[in-house]
Structure 1
Amino acid sequence: ELTGHDSDRQLLAAECLCNLSLGDEVCCEKVATFAGTYLVALVENLSNRRVATTCMWTLQNMISSGTKAMKILNSQGIIPSLTHLLEVLEKDDLLAEILLAIELILDHDPAFISIETIHATILPLTSSKEPQLNSLKVVYKALCLTGFETLDVETAPQIVKHVVQQLVLIGIENGAEAILSIRILANLVAINEGCEDFLVAQCQQHNVKLRTYGLFNLD
């Protein structure tokens, strides 16, 4: 049914697989083996968002289940599929799910997403989107893997802008998210030359007082 042309049956099949993917690693490995290719393909079918989103949930479950299922999905092209969607989607519910999937893959360390791909694709694309919690987590985990170094002179300032905009959105009330933001900014400024002046300019532009957070010594 998953490969048919009836969208209702496709959705039902995707929901069944999503339920199966809530099982153990062995169950996820079997789902990945027999249906992974179709799930990856259907995620890119943006004409049916309900099916695409359900398939994305299934893939997320398998990614987080362990290395075996992830190895199978990797061989089926999940990374190029996710990076393509990251490139074409803007503010969108599915984009949040794509970012969550990438975050889960980054939890495997650079086993599946190389440092080169993080530098060239993940960081520039993620920080170019409208900020949200999932994009912040992807940026943080990706930067942890690169030692907070960026590939070129444009990416670090773009990340700074992205994170400052997120601080404006969340305010001081969201402590955990604010701490994550400050950690990104502090490490970027420490590692990347020229980021400090850009950070100060962004904070002044958006009226962000970093001393308010008690974690950084700039305003």
Structure 2
Amino acid sequence: MDSQRTEDSMLRLKIRSYAKEQRQVLRTFATDALRFGLGQIRSEIRELENLSAKDVCGLAARIKRRKHATSEDMYRLSHAFLQGNENISTFVGIPGAIQVLVKELSGANIQRQIDAAECFCNLSLGDAHVSEKITALAGSYLVTYLDGKEERLKRSCLWTLANLLATCTKAAKTLLKMQLVPKLWKLYTAPPDDLNKFQNDAGICLYLIATHTACAVSAVDRNYIMEHLHEKRPEDQGSEYFMYIIYQLNIVCSKHEQLSVQQAESLVNFFVGHVRSDWDTIYGVRVMSNLLARGEPQLLGSLATPEKFLNALNRLFALQESNLNYDLMRLLKNYLNLNIVDSNWLLEQLKVYA
């Protein structure tokens, strides 16, 4: 459908803009490290914007020979990977080169773990075969470090995972077998404080999973999301992805999956508290339609006093978007079928614009 393509295009544009911003931040981190001499990066590094495939070959040969990569080596490689696919393909084509980065990523030195993670972040900008190789050799570490406390390492892992999920379905399916979904959901719903600043990054990863590999998400992972629905609040970072993820993963569609009163009411509260003219609105309407279609009025006590719900419907009808109105009418029909409020009163209060 044209409307679906438009919504997806808007979200892809938003994510591309976000990813570009984050990579600029990543380069700023590296520049600051160079300026202040952090890690083991030396100020003598020059002309990083002109690293060629030949330079990459030389760097790969050096780290293979030493079976070790210094912070300087990885800083240079990170910049080389940003300069284009040729440098990425050259590095990946050299047997044993990635394994040295994996050794640093999995080692005990936290600074070199960070340097390696940032290397993988830029390396993951390559094509699908690059994503497959990174996932096979380093995927388990990237996922495991999501449980860690080092902010820069965790963020680089999230950016790398987002690149892998967006680029290669085979890599994504492999990552899903590593408990990725529950780890992402914990970060997505964690209360924001000094140690939890990853809600938006985790939300993008979950969005990419819902878009490209929803069918590969296990029943166990879907149940985990369903059981922890109420932990995501409308005011939190990344909340604009919430209803899309819930809809694409069919979290509330099956009557065989039992929703609690708390989970159902959290969806209702999220819907009425997050109405706005944005790309995610239609998914909130669809999730609510599916929830009401379950026909379980005992789960919908918050709708028995319908003023907030009615206000949300009127604000959505006021947008006068024809594609959205179709879904709104389906939502209204399912709501009336529950018979939990007086239908005549409700219809009198509605403001449906022609």
Question: TM-score of the superposition, structure 1-length normalised?
Answer: 0.79
Instruction: Please state if 1:54 is matched with 2:156.
Output: yes
Give 1:193's match in structure 2, choosing from 296, 301, 311: 296
Separation (CA, whole Å) in 1 of partners of 2:312 and 2:170:
46
Give, in whole Å, the separation in 2 of the partners of 1:164 and 1:136: 12
Structure 1 residue 85 displacement after superposition: 4.2
Q: How many residues align?
A: 208
Q: Aligned runs of 1:68-217 on 2, under 5 Å?
A: 68-85=170-187, 89-91=190-192, 92-107=196-211, 108-111=213-216, 113-118=217-222, 120-131=223-234, 132-143=239-250, 147=253, 149=255, 150-154=257-261, 155-167=263-275, 171=276, 174-194=277-297, 198-199=302-303, 201=305, 204-205=307-308, 208-214=311-317, 215=325, 216=328, 217=332
SS of the equivalent of 1:4 reads coil
Q: RMSD between aligned alpha carbons? A: 2.8
Distance 1:176 1:86, change over 3 A: closer
The residue that corresponds to 2:142 in the other structure is 39
- The offset of 1:29, in angstroms, is 0.6
The equivalent of 2:22 in structure 1 is: none
* AA partner of residue 131 (structure 2): C
Give 1:148 deviation, angstroms.
Answer: 5.9
**Alpha carbons of structure 1 residues 29 and 179: separation in structure 2 relative to 1, 3 Å:** same
Structure-1 separation of matches of 2:178 and 2:316: 44
- Deviations along 1:39-63, one digit per CA (max 9) or x if unpaired, are 1111210x21121011011112112
Gap change, CA 1:26 and 1:93, over 3 Å in 2: same
Q: Distance in 2 between matches of 1:7 and 1:177?
A: 38
Find the residue that maps to 2:259 and give its secondary structure: coil
What is the one-letter code of the residue matched to 2:272? V
- Give the drift of 1:71: 3.3
Alpha-carbon distance change, 193 to 126 in structure 1, aligned in 2, over 3 angstroms: closer
| Alpha-carbon shift at residue 38 of structure 1 (Å) | 1.2
Contact preservation (8 Å) 1:21, 1:28: yes
Q: Secondary structure at the match of 1:176?
A: coil
Rg larger for: 2
Q: Which moved more, 1:34-43 or 1:181-190?
A: 181-190
Identity %: 27
Letter in 1 for 2:280: E
Partner AA of 2:158 in structure 1: M
Shift of 1:139: 1.7
For 2:259 and 2:241, the matched residues in 1 are separated by 23
Structure 1 gaps, min length 5: none
Post-superposition CA distance 1:2-57 (Å, at most 9, x none):
22344333222111101111111100011111111111111210x21121011011
Q: For residues 76 and 148 of structure 1, do their structure 2 counterparts lie closer, same or farther at Cα, with a shift above 3 Å needed?
A: closer
Higher relative contact order (CA 8 A, sep 6+): 1
TM-score norm. by structure 2 comes to: 0.51
**Contact 2:161 2:205 (C-alpha < 8 Å) held by counterparts:** yes
Per-residue deviation, 1:196 = 6.1
